[in-house]
Every structure is written in structure tokens, then in C-alpha cells.
Structure 1
Amino acid sequence: MHATARITAADRGGVTTLPVLDGDGPFALRRLRARGPAARVCIVGAMTAPLGGDRLRIEATAEQNATLHLTSSAATLALRGATSAAAIYDIRLTVADGAELRWLPKPLICAAGSNLRQTWTIDLAPTARLVLREEQILGRTGEPSGRLTTRLTVRRAGHTLLTQEATYGPDAPGWDGPAVLDTHRATGQLLIVDPSFAHSPPTVHLLGTPADGHAVLTPLPGPAALATAVAPNGLHLRRLLNTAHSTTHRPTPPD
């Protein structure tokens, strides 16, 4: 299956509208009640996806001075497909000057036998703001993890702010060793890009306990901050990322 969802947010006199809201295949896009000037969109899974061999893509743009908040109605479940080929899930976000985009979906769950490659390509204008949360649960309860490769590339004002890649699951060297996840099966990160960090950047924080998982919040040149966390389950992972977010002195994500 090949499917694409497109979302465009535009500022109209201080209120964000959605001139483009188009989804097909597994992507059903729903407008949510606005909170202040922001436009809010929920991505609803209309069918089972991604499966092996699927090609899925989301394109979201916040035009100048617009505020766009994106969430999902439920976790995304990657499953074994009829083919052993990897499913491709490509997310492209563009944020213009003075605009803000918050991407706060439910977790991605990689079921046993699944094979998924997820890519993020994010382009930010110099005064754009971004809050991006990604959470991965490696295997459902009592089952081994599927295979997941995730790659994140963030550019700000045409320059690379962050690029990273990680692979988990079968045939990925050392992913479940003590240097990576050890016994944890939930991992994720929170990336915040905010021009105000140029004057008051967050400081390094270590969060968590051996039982609940660990997170580290670090400032990035950009200006930005990145929190990376590992935890025994999704509940503890979300708590760690929310704590890291509040440590930056910005409001905790509502979604």
C-alpha cells in the first residue's frame, strides 16, 4: 500500500486555519477543537498499517506565524506483512518563520516479526519553534521486538541541527546490550527547538531511577534541547519525557 497525508496550517489574522487537510489509505485526518490560536489535528488510523512493504508518508507544513499541533488517536502498530520487505514510514515537517509545530503522537509499537524503517526530515526557519516527541515500544507484552530503523534529520536555516540513526530488534548489533537498551523495551526522545534558548539554554539534567528508566536532557546548538530516554514500558517512558519537558521551563505537552 502507498498512502500520503498532507497538512498545511496558515495564519489568518492571528488564527491558524487548515487550507490543506488531505489523507488517504490508513490516514484519516480529524480537526480538533482549537485551543487559542492553534489549529489541532488528530491522525486516526483507518486501517491496519504499516505492514511489510507499505510506503506511508506524512507531510505537514506550518506557514509563517501559524501554530499547528498534531497528535494521533491511538498507538501506531507495525506488524508482519505478506512480504519480508521493510515498511517505509516517512514524515516530513516544515516550519516557517514565527510558526510553531508540535508533533505529539501516541507511541509506535513494533510487534514481533515486523520490519519498519521510519525517517524524519524536518526543515525549520530561523525563528521557527518545534516540539517533537517520538516513543517506540519494542514488542507487545510478552513477545520479542520487531525490527526498527529510525533516522532523524533536522535542519534549521538550511544548516544541519541534528542527524541520527538507530536500529533495534533482530540482527541489530548490541541493541539489547548494556550499552544501548539492556533490558528496557521502551525508548524515545523529545526535541525542542526554540529561539529563546539562545539567551537561556536548558542545562544538562539526568532523570529517572533504575526501576523506572533513565533520561538525559542536553542543550544543543541551534538553539535546541534534546531529551533521550529508555524505560521498561511506555508509561514510564512518557513520564520521563514529560518531566524532561517541564525542566526546560515550557508547559508540558497537553496531548
Structure 2
Amino acid sequence: MTAGVRATARIAARDDGRGGTSLPVLEGDGPLALRRTRGVGSEARVMLVGAMSGPLGGDHFTVEAAAAEGARLHIGSAAATIALPGQAKGESRYDVRLKVADGGELCWLPEQLISANGSDLYVSSRIELAAGARLVFREEQVLGRAGEEPGRLSSRLTVRLGGQALLDQEVTCGPGAPGGWDGPAVLAGHRALGQLLVVRPEFADVPVQARLLGEYASLMPLAGPAVLVTALASDALRLRRVLDDVLNSLSQDL
């Protein structure tokens, strides 16, 4: 049996004292390469560049990012992440660990995660927010490449705000998932699913009202200064359009 690859990328962002954001820690190994790109205003922008295919079966990738007080950090990716079967047997893992201090801001806006046929991936995202932190977190998952059945994909997102639980949810799709995952009560035949979590202190003073965003998308306020958008679509392009539209709308309302 071939052992899987272990790789970790670490990012730390701080206020540089000159109206910008510095990156005292920016390191990645193996397939997780990091590149700083041109930011906007006071933000630091980092691109996650996959140096090889994966995660493959047995791989374990981890991305850790922290934004300190006064820092603004934007993280994206150069391309979609594709979970593939690989030679090693067993489940692959992709862990995301984000931490934002009071007065800090972090935007996690990578490209889609694609679950290719035969793959088995578990994604775990854990986010720790101090009171007064700001967050934009987008997660998009596509079940199968064009014309193929998906692999097994399990994803759990847990968020704590000010030491209290804000959100804890899990979904599993594909072969071996609980029955009905593709039925009318869950995905209803769609192959792209996504969510957008926005946390802003301003929501405490200007609450956002729950609303439908079409037949297969909705916006719900959470028990805190946060809103959660969930959406289904037939493909990645339509899913991105829905999430982008609501993020732009939320920005204009404030």
C-alpha cells in the first residue's frame, strides 16, 4: 500500500502599523504552495496554488490561517481542488483551520472542490472567531466531473464566535452516504452545493431578514451577527452566480 501525502500550509496576518497587513508567516509544503498577490486597500491577499494533483486516497492536507487584530486577510485558490482516487486506499482528508481576532477580518474564497468518481474525501472546517471578528467563508462542492458519477464526499463545518457555538453542520454525499442524499429532500438531483457564511458586527444593529433566493437557495440569520446562505445548482457556474449575487447584496446593504 502506498502511503498518502501529508502537507500543511500556514498563514498569519497582522496589522503592519502603516495602514496595511503584513504576513509574518506564509509557508506551505508539498502540494500546498502559497503566493502573495496584489491586495486591495489594507488587505493582504494570498493565493493557494496546488503544486500537484490531489488530494488523492490517503492524503491529508491542512490549511491554517489566522488574522490578528486590525489585519485583513483574503485567501483564494488558483484553481479548483479535485479529489481523486489515487493508488493508496482509504479516505483522504482536507482540514481548514481559521482563526480571527477581535477587529480582524478574514475572507476564505477558494475555487470549487470537485469530488471525482472513486474518490473518498472528508473535509473538516473549524473556525474560531473572537467577538468583533469579521468573516466571509465560501464553500462550494461539485459532485463529479462532467458526465461522471461522484465519489464519496463528507464535509463538516463548525464555527465558534466569542467562545460560543455559532454553527455546526455536516453533510455526506455519494456512494455509501445515508440513503436519500440525492432525493427531493436533500439535493433533488443537483450536482453543485454551496454555502456562504458572513459574520459582521454590524448585523447586530442591522439584522438581515430571512428570505428565499430562488427555488433552491435561501438566506438565514444565525443566533449572532451572522447570516448563512445555502444553495443548490445544476453546475458550478450557476452556484457561483447565486453566492456572488447575495454577497454583493449584503455588502451594499451596509
Task: State TM-score, norm by structure 1.
Answer: 0.95
Q: Equivalent residues in 2 for 1:24-63 (5 A)?
A: 24-63=29-68
User: Is 1:133 paired with 2:138?
Assistant: yes
Candidates 167, 172, 176, aligned match of 2:182:
176
1:120 is paired with a residue whose SS is strand
Q: Which amino acid aligns with 2:183?
A: G
Larger % of strand: which?
Answer: 1
- Matches of 1:34 and 1:156, distance apart in 2: 26
1:91 aligns with 2:93: no
Cα distance between partner residues in 1 of 2:86 and 2:209:
44
C-alpha displacement of 1:27: 0.8
Residue of structure 1 equivalent to 2:14:
10
Across the aligned residues of Structure 1 and Structure 2, the Cα RMSD in angstroms comes to 1.1
Per-residue deviation at 1:204?
1.2
Q: 2: distance between equivalents of 1:131 and 1:241?
A: 11
**Residue in structure 1 matched with residue 239 of structure 2 by the alignment:** 237
**Helix, strand or coil at the partner of 1:35:** coil
* Aligned 1:1-255 pairs, distance under 5 A: 1-13=5-17, 14-172=19-177, 173-209=179-215, 214-250=216-252
Deviations 1:142-196 (A, max 9, x none): 0001100000010011110000000000111211011001210000000000110
The Cα shift of 1:250 comes to: 4.5
Q: Kindly state the Cα deviation for residue 84 of structure 1 after the two structures are TM-superposed.
A: 3.0
Judged with a 3 Å threshold, the aligned counterparts in structure 2 of structure 1 residues 154 and 136 are, in CA distance, closer, same or farther, namely same
Alignment partners' CA distance in 2, 1:74 and 1:104: 11
Q: For residue 153 of structure 1, give the secondary structure of its aligned residue in structure 2.
A: strand
Q: Which blocks of at least 5 consecutive residues in structure 1 are unaligned?
A: none
Q: Aligned-pair distance for 1:247?
A: 3.2
**Alpha-carbon deviations, 1:87-141, whole Å to 9, x = none?**
0101000000100000000000000000000000100010000000000000001
Q: Indicate if the aligned counterparts of 1:215 and 1:241 stay in contact, CA closer than 8 A.
A: no
1:21 alignment partner AA: L
Aligned length: 247
CA shift at 1:226, angstroms?
0.2
| Deviation for aligned residue 1:34 | 2.1
The percentage of aligned residue pairs carrying the same residue is 57
